[in-house]
């Protein structure tokens, strides 16, 4: 069925979602930027394009669509299939829990297990959320984790660092959307380079951590994301090594470090057999995010 035929034959929201699921499956799309299956992605793109509430599908399923609405849906379905763009780049938004962030191809699509830990204010590792006065989000990208950190710790000034000037521009937009310019400071820096003399009660980072073999096998959707935000050397740990080498001099005496490392737990523990990593529980398990106290880190 051509786009023109589909636009004339498909009449309701239900028709279009069914068609999108079939088309997405036939195209062999990869889902990993907010949804993990064709149905959820079809529902999201359909509701977003029609400016309908994202959490209320049922009342609209049998609503008939205007010609312009049908054409708009066919266009976004076509771009998802032919261009293999992640849905977030088509809609210019990504969600972490209930929080919406602007995104485009200048930044990686936000996805981090640290986000759910921040919702719980890193309990029990931080006893008093008001005690966090200075925090650092290293490799901030869109600024999403820096913003969630500011929301979780209401007394904190948050430094949000990224090497990419483009990423900083996107983060500026998100910080403005959340009215946090007075609490989130955006800094262009290669890791800790422009943070000399500064110490933080909390450092979080979702750095690049994809190993070279996995980078070479990435689905087309991932190739639209900034390369520097994905790969990190042969074993995926190059940037994590920088963090572990430099973090102590930037932590307060009782500060903690929280880092996401993907599927690299075994490689990390083999590389640092003497570090007492604490692996934090997330929805996906306890092997993706580690925590260390300042006292655990090498001088």
Average pLDDT for the chain: 92
Share of the chain above pLDDT 70, in %: 94
User: Pick from 159, 96, 113: which is nearest to 133 by CA?
Assistant: 159
Residue 29's Cβ-count burial label (10 Å; 0-12, 13-18, 19+) is: buried
Q: Which of 63-67, 216-220, 277-281 has the lowest mean pLDDT?
A: 216-220
User: Residue 218: what pLDDT?
Assistant: 80
Tell me whether strands 157-162 and 184-188 are parallel, antiparallel or unpaired: parallel
Q: What is the CB neighbour count within 10 angstroms for residue 294? A: 20
pLDDT digits (tens, 9 = 90+) for 248-257: 999 999 999 9
This prediction has a pTM of 0.92
> CB-hemisphere CA count at 13 Å for 46?
26
Question: In degrees rounded to 5, what are phi and psi of residue 274?
Answer: -95, -10
- Secondary structure, 3-state, the chain: CCHHHHHHHCCEHHHHHHHHHHHHHHHCCCCCCCCCCHHHHHHHHHHHHCCCCCCCCHHHCCCECCHHHHHHHHHHHHHHHHCCCCHHHHHCCEEECCEEECCCCCCCCCCCHHHHHHHCCCCCCCCCHHHCCEEEEECCCCCHHHHHHHHHCCCCEEEEEECCHHHHHHHHHHHHHCCCCCCEEEEECCCCHHHCCCCEEEEEECCCCECHHHHHCCCHHHHHCCHHHCECCCCCCHHHHHHHHHHHHHEEEEEEEEEECCCCHHHHHHHCCCCCCEECCECCECCCEEEEEHHHCCC
Average pLDDT over residues 217-226: 83
Hey, what long-range contacts does 62-65 have (CB within 8 A, 24 or more apart)? Answer: 62/12, 62/13, 62/14, 63/12, 63/13, 64/11, 64/12, 65/11, 65/12, 65/13, 65/16
User: Residue 231: what pLDDT?
Assistant: 62
Is the confidence at residue 224, as pLDDT, over 90?
A: no
Contact 229, 108 (CB under 8 A): yes
Q: So where are the chain's domains?
A: 3-91, 97-296
Share of the chain above pLDDT 90, in %: 78
Token pair, residue 228, equals 């520097």
CATH topology of domain 97-296: Rossmann fold (3.40.50)
Residue predicted with more confidence, 211 or 38? 38
* Angle subtended by helix axes 13-27 and 67-82, to nearest 10: 10
Is the confidence at residue 124, as pLDDT, over 80?
A: yes
User: Residue 230: what pLDDT?
Assistant: 67
User: Residue 2: what pLDDT?
Assistant: 57
Average pLDDT over residues 234-246: 87
User: Pick from 48, 40, 49, 94: which is nearest to 225 by CA?
Assistant: 94
pLDDT band at 165 (very low <50, low <70, confident <90, very high): very high
Contact 290, 280 (CB under 8 A): yes
Contact 230, 210 (CB under 8 A): yes
User: Residue 215: what pLDDT?
Assistant: 67
Gap between the Cα atoms of 44 and 123, Å rounded? 32
pLDDT digits (tens, 9 = 90+) for 1-53: 556 566 678 999 999 999 999 999 999 999 988 888 999 999 999 999 999 99
* Angle subtended by helix axes 165-177 and 144-152, to nearest 10: 40
């Amino acid at each position: 069925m051509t786009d023109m035929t589909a636009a004339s034959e498909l009449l309701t929201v239900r028709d279009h979602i069914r068609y999108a699921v079939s088309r997405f499956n036939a195209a062999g799309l990869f889902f990993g930027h907010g949804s993990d299956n064709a149905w959820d992605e079809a529902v999201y793109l359909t509701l977003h394009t029609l400016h309908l509430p994202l959490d209320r599908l049922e009342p609209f399923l049998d609503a008939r669509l205007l010609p312009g609405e049908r054409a708009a849906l066919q266009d976004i379905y076509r771009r998802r299939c032919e261009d293999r763009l992640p849905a977030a780049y088509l809609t210019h938004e990504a969600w972490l829990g209930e929080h919406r962030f602007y995104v485009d191809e200048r930044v990686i699509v936000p996805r981090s297990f640290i986000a759910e830990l921040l919702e719980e204010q890193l309990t029990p590792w931080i006893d008093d959320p008001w005690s966090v006065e200075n925090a650092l989000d290293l490799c901030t990208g869109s600024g999403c984790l820096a913003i969630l950190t500011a929301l979780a710790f209401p007394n904190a000034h948050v430094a949000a660092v990224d090497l990419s000037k483009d990423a900083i521009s996107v983060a500026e937009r998100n910080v403005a959307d959340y009215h946090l310019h007075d609490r989130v400071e955006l800094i262009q820096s290669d890791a800790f380079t422009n943070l000399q003399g500064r110490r933080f009660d909390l450092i979080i980072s979702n750095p690049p951590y994809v190993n070279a073999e996995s980078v070479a096998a990435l689905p087309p959707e991932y190739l639209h994301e900034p390369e520097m935000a994905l790969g990190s050397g042969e074993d995926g740990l190059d940037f994590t090594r920088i963090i572990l080498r430099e973090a102590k001099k930037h932590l307060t005496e009782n500060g903690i470090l929280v880092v996401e490392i993907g599927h690299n737990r075994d490689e990390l523990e083999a590389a640092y057999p003497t570090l007492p990593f604490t692996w934090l529980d997330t929805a996906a398990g306890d092997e993706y995010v580690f925590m260390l106290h300042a006292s655990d880190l090498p001088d």
